[in-house]
Amino acid sequence: MSTDLLVTGGSGLLGSALRALCPGATYVSSSDCDLRELPGTRAIFERLRPKCVLHLAARVGGVKSNAEHNADLLVDNMQINANVLSVSQQCGVSRLISILSSCAFDLHSDRRSNEENLHSGLPFEGNLGYGCAKRMLDLHTRLLWKQYKVRFSTIAPVTMYGPRDNFDLDGGHVIGALIHKAVRAKMAGGALEVWGSGRAIRQFAYVEDVARLLLAALKTFDGPETVIVAPDSGITIQDLVKAVTEAVGFDGPVHFNIDKPEGVLVKRIESGRFAGCFPGFQFTPLREGLAKTVEWFVREEGRKPSKPISARISGVAM
């Protein structure tokens, strides 16, 4: 058999968004193949013989798990990426786009990093393993393009959020965890605890936007250089918490716990290439994306018999 488009990491946040936009593609996840293992990776590519690949698969975590498992994240992600790219080249894949991360960039408090800064300095120490693995993914892409003339590229979105995000209170990314905490606080009638001071600055992209950009990039990209996807210049966690609580309908007290980790204080990147690659693209406003994400979370949690959240939250702002 053969497939026009193979998507690795098909059950993750971005993979799930792509399924809705492109149901005809073939999606593989960790239940289908452990991409850390070369024989299994080669077998699935030889069986599916994809023409194009969107490589999304990665081992990811939040600020706490990234810092605690730096070495594991480095090894696992380098194995996944090396196997997928090498096998794609050997199997004659004509087009491949991989996902990088803002964690790969050297960050500065006084200015935003751009594509030219990807391989300068070092990533933030708390994301060092994951960030360096993403840098090697970009480097591998460039070397394959140069040596084998394959049309492989990368794209570097800021932190994504949306339906099917990781809402785990400890291991999830910031928006997913905040939504979960705010919903629980509303249910309990208690306070919302937020890790860190609230001063940290982060950037977010609605996952469906990134999915649409990836499908467009399959047709338009021509070169190995990465393109940053950053809808805006960022938001403080304090302002993000306000937007999340408004989306949830939580009006109780909010406590910022400075004894908990918050990661690097300023995390901002910008693109010098995006406008030329995707002219006129319109991003989903943050509050609109948050409303859709909260709606999905409440609905899905309400379907779990042990956690009838939606039945117990009347008046959640959608």
The answer to whether 261 and 200 have CB atoms below 8 angstroms apart is no
SS3 194: strand
Same domain membership, residue 157 and residue 122:
yes
Q: Are residues 130 and 191 in the same domain?
A: no
Q: Are residues 22 and 125 in the same domain?
A: yes
Average pLDDT over residues 104-131: 92
pLDDT in tens, 33-70: 999 999 999 999 999 999 999 999 999 876 677 778 89
Cα separation, 228 vs 225, in Å, equals 10
Across residues 118-131, what is the average pLDDT?
Answer: 93
Whether 210 shows a pLDDT value over 80: the answer reads yes
What CATH number is given to the structural domain containing 138?
3.40.50.720
Helices 237-248 and 286-302 pack at an angle, to 10 degrees, of 50
User: Contact 241/255 with Cβ under 8 angstroms?
Assistant: no
- pLDDT of res. 269: 96
The verdict on residue 154 lying in a domain is: yes
pLDDT range class, residue 1, cuts 50, 70, 90:
low
Active-site entry in 27, 130, 161, 206: 130
Whether 10 and 103 share a structural domain: yes
Average pLDDT, stretch 261-289?
A: 93
Strand partners, 195: 257
The CB density around residue 216, as the number of other CB atoms within 10 Å, is: 13
List b or e across 193-210, with b for residues whose CB sees 16 or more CB atoms inside 10 angstroms.
Answer: ebbbebebbbbbbbbbbb
φ, ψ of residue 206 to 5 degrees: the values are -65, 135
Regarding whether 180 and 113 lie in a shared domain, the answer is no
46 occurs within a structural domain: yes
DSSP of 144-201: HHHHH---EEEEEE-EEESTT----TTTS-HHHHHHHHHHHHHHHT-PEEEES-S--E
* Together in a domain, 220 and 237: no
Is residue 308 domain-shared with residue 243, that is, in the same domain? yes
* Percent of residues, the chain, with pLDDT higher than 90: 81
> What pairs with residue 155 in β-bridges?
99, 227
Same domain, 183 and 130: no
168, part of any domain: no
4-8, 66-70, 178-182, 234-238: range with lowest mean pLDDT: 66-70
Q: Is 60 inside any structural domain?
A: yes
pLDDT of 171 > 80? The answer is no
Both structure tokens of 309: 């959240």
Q: In this structure, is residue 167 part of a structural domain? A: no
What is the pLDDT averaged over residues 248-263? 93
Spatial contact of 134 and 100, defined as CB atoms under 8 Å apart:
yes
The count of structural domains within the chain is: 2
User: For residue 215, what are the domain limits?
Assistant: 5-161+204-229
Query: Looking at residues 248-273, what average pLDDT do you find?
Result: 93
With respect to residue 192, please indicate whether it lies within any of the assigned structural domains: yes
Mean pLDDT of 274-278: 94
State the Cα–Cα distance between residues 59 and 309, nearest whole angstrom. Answer: 29
Assign residue 183 the CATH number of its domain: 3.90.25.10
**Residue 55 falls within a domain, yes or no?**
yes
Average pLDDT, stretch 263-282?
93
pTM tops 0.85: yes
Structure tokens at 23: 């149901």
Shared domain for 303 and 187, answered yes or no, is yes
Same domain, 192 and 258: yes
130 catalytic? Reply is yes
Residue 124 lies in a domain: yes
Instruction: Verify that 218 and 76 share a domain, yes or no.
Output: yes
Whether residue 75 is found in the same domain as residue 194: no
